[in-house]
Amino acid sequence: MSAETSGAKTVFVAGGTSGINRAIAEAYARQGHRVAVLSRSAEKVEDTVAVLSGHSSALGFVADVRDADAVGTALSNVHDLWGDIDILISGAAGNFVAPAESLSTNGFKSVIDIDLLGTFNVLRLAWPYLRKPGASILSISASTAWMPTKGQVHVGAAKAGIDQVTRTLALEWGQHGIRVNAIAPGPVADTEGMRRLAPTDDAVAGWTRAVPLGRFATTADIVSATQWLCSDAAGYVTGVILDVDGGLSLGGSSAINAAMQQ
Ligand code: NAP
Ligand code: COA
């Protein structure tokens, strides 16, 4: 798909200023689509918009996905400037490893609020501005949503919630021609998420052993799956949580927990 042949689309990426989400934003910009990103750091937003602008029209918003008013204002501004949103990505997240007994109520709440409430805010507040029919929504989940993982009670609960938001909104919004899906990446190389989950060489080796394909994903692997799910080629796919994990989930909870022990 190129913007020249199919027409430029409006893309909004919540948390689009680093790692996987930024790779998703950059890929759409390189194809000539209009791309807006939102995150907390003014520096990261500025840097991302500078790069995106080299390819296409770009907007940046400094906001926290936990702040519903700020998220709503950003989405409304994008709609005012560019019209209906065609592709909406919700990927803002926080993660750290903490066994439950050392996790405070606020620590648990922070991750639930960023990942789950943040995703609800992004999807719900985008509702008036989504193309109907035709919009495609994608949230970023993780395999910890259904494979209980030591040190990840907060993340697992948040991502499981995202999976159910995905299925429920797919059910509610299907009649409006809106598709709602999620992807659950496996370990992705050179990302903040894996720097936190696998901080040592031994941990990286352990995670690599847990993946049947025998390697970490590249951000390009995740971009490919995202582009397919959000394209017309996946026009009959909705309510799906797509594992893009090199087969990690085939090993179940024991494989992922063995990797976490390293
Ligand atoms: P990352 O580089 O830390 O990206 C997180 C992004 O979200 C950043 O742009 C960050 O920017 C933004 N963000 C964080 N908190 C926010 C908040 N409260 N409000 C608004 N924006 C916020 O992480 P990543 O490793 O690429 O992960 C990206 C996504 O993939 C996450 O949803 C993660 O759970 C998921 N995932 C990652 C992996 C992996 O291997 N890395 C595996 C499975 C799933 P600011 O700091 O400027 O806010
Ligand atoms: N272990 C245990 N608790 C931790 C922790 C850790 N490693 N890191 C933070 N917390 C707790 C804090 O102690 C605090 O709880 P308290 O008030 O009871 O002390 C709570 O979490 C909130 O911390 P704070 O730093 O105020 O939150 P924040 O909203 O500023 O930041 C985080 C959110 C903690 C998730 C931060 O790591 C972050 O911004 N992450 C984004 C990047 C990221 O995680 N990328 C990977 C995505 S997969």
- The whole-number mean pLDDT for each consecutive block of 10 residues of the chain, a chain of 262 residues, reads 68 98 98 98 99 98 99 98 98 98 98 99 99 98 96 98 99 98 98 97 96 98 98 98 97 89 76
Residue whose CA lies nearest to ligand 1 atom number 2: 19
* Nearest residue to 10 (alpha-carbon basis) of 32, 30, 26: 32
pTM: 0.98
Count CB neighbours of 72 within 10 A.
18
Indicate whether residue 193 lines ligand 1 (CB < 6 A).
yes
- Beta strand 10-14 with 87-90 is parallel
Residue whose CA lies nearest to ligand 1 atom number 25: 193
Q: Which contacts qualify for 120-123: CB closer than 8 Å, 24 or more apart?
A: 120/165, 121/65, 121/66, 121/68, 121/71, 121/72, 122/14, 122/65, 122/71, 122/75, 122/88, 122/90, 122/92, 123/88, 123/90, 123/165, 123/169, 123/180
Indicate whether residue 112 lines ligand 1 (CB < 6 A).
no
The whole-number pLDDT of residue 260 equals 84
Indicate whether residue 40 lines ligand 1 (CB < 6 A).
yes
The whole-number pLDDT of residue 4 equals 44
Who lines ligand 2 at CB under 6 A?
A: 93-96, 98, 102-104, 106-107, 110-111, 192-193, 196
For the chain, the farthest-separated pair of C-alpha atoms sits apart, in whole angstroms, at 55
Ligand 1 atom nearest the C-alpha of 155 is 34
* Nearest residue to 22 (alpha-carbon basis) of 33, 40, 36: 36
Q: Tell me the per-residue pLDDT of 216-259, one tens digit each, with 9 for 90 and over.
A: 999 999 999 999 999 999 999 999 999 999 999 999 999 889 98
Q: Looking at the CA of 64, which ligand is closest?
A: 1
The whole-number pLDDT of residue 24 equals 99
Indicate whether residue 194 lines ligand 1 (CB < 6 A).
yes
Indicate whether residue 60 lines ligand 1 (CB < 6 A).
no
User: Using CA of residue 51, residue 55, residue 60, residue 65, what is the dihedral sign?
Assistant: negative
